[in-house]
Amino acid sequence: MAVEVEVFEKEQLAVSLAKYVADLSNKFTRERGAFTVCLSGGSLINYLQKLLEDPYIDSIEWAKWHVFWVDERVVPKTHDDSNYKLAFDGFLSKVPIPPGNVYAINDALSAEGAADDYETCVKHLVNSNVIASSSASGFPKFDLMLLGMGPDGHVASLFPGHPLVHENKKMGYLN
């Protein structure tokens, strides 16, 4: 599998990202009837705001989007440290994605409880074919995962050198 790396100036990044996301959304909603996208925190939401403009805003079937998080802090959804709040305020509240298609963590639970609850939700959505799955491992295959990288090299709260970067069984799909 060839890897393609593109480098953008900040201004061009939002335009290119919007086109890429809109094209993927249209492809998967046409093929599967749903588009599953995972968001992380940071400045990503600012770049997604380009989707709120023409020609993208009216070309996307927002009702078929299913939004997940790859990184969330266990704080109330109204807390300034919440990636849900960041995404809701800057993007999700401005598009007609059904509230039931936005899968936030249960912030009333402990971190471990919230993770287990989210895992159960994702498994249910894989079993009901909202989320595709890998035939080899059974792991969920989201249509798009938008990740940023922190200044210390972390991605999705996976920090370089931490043992969790080697986790491969938690979702319970692997034998």
- Indicate the pLDDT class of residue 172, thresholds 50, 70 and 90: very low
Distance CA(25)–CA(35), nearest Å, equals: 6
The pTM of this model reads 0.84
Distance CA(140)–CA(79), nearest Å, equals: 29
| Domain 30-166 CATH assignment equals 1.20.120.10 | no
**pLDDT digit string, tens, across residues 55-75:** 999 999 999 999 999 878 889
The confidence score (pLDDT) of residue 63 equals 98
Closest CA to 38 of 29, 48, 53: 48
**pLDDT digit string, tens, across residues 96-116:** 999 999 999 999 999 889 989
Q: Where in the chain are the domains? A: 30-166
Closest CA to 34 of 139, 131, 127, 138: 131
